[in-house]
Amino acid sequence: MEQFKSEISNKGERELENSIVDMTDEQFSSYINSLDDSASIEVKEGIKKVRKYNKKIIDELKDKYDNKCQICGEGSKNTYGVSVVEGHHIEEFSLTQNNSPQNIMILCPSHHRIIHKAKGMFNSKTKEITYSNGFIEKLLFNKHL
Q: Does 108 bind Zn ion (CB under 5 A)?
A: yes
Binding of Zn ion by 111 (CB under 5 A): yes
DSSP 117: H
> Residues touching Zn ion: how many (CB under 5 A)?
9
Regarding 57 and contact with Zn ion (CB under 5 A), the answer is no
The verdict on 51 binding Zn ion (CB under 5 A) reads: no
Instruction: Tell me the window of 1-9, 34-42, 73-81, 128-136 that interacts with Zn ion (CB under 5 A).
Output: 73-81
Cβ burial 42-81 (10 Å sphere, 16+ → b, else e): eeeeebeebbeebbebbeebbeebebbbbbeebbbeeeee
Q: Is 17 in the site for Zn ion (CB under 5 A)?
A: yes
Options 66, 74, 92, 137; binder of Zn ion; rule CB under 5 A = 74
Would you count residue 72 as binding Zn ion (CB under 5 A)? yes
Residue 62 interacts with Zn ion (CB under 5 A)? no
The Cα diameter of the chain in Å comes to: 44
User: Contact, 104 vs 58, CB < 8 A?
Assistant: yes
Distance between CA atoms of residues 88 and 101, nearest Å: 10
When binding is defined by CB under 5 A, the residue of 71, 104, 106, 129 that contacts Zn ion is 71
Measuring CA to CA, which residue among 119, 145, 142, 116 is closest to residue 132? 119
Counts for the chain of helices (H) and strands (E), in that order: 6, 5
Asked if 47 is part of the footprint of Zn ion (rule: CB under 5 A), the reply reads no
Residues that bind Zn ion (CB under 5 A): 14, 17, 69, 71-72, 74, 88, 108, 111
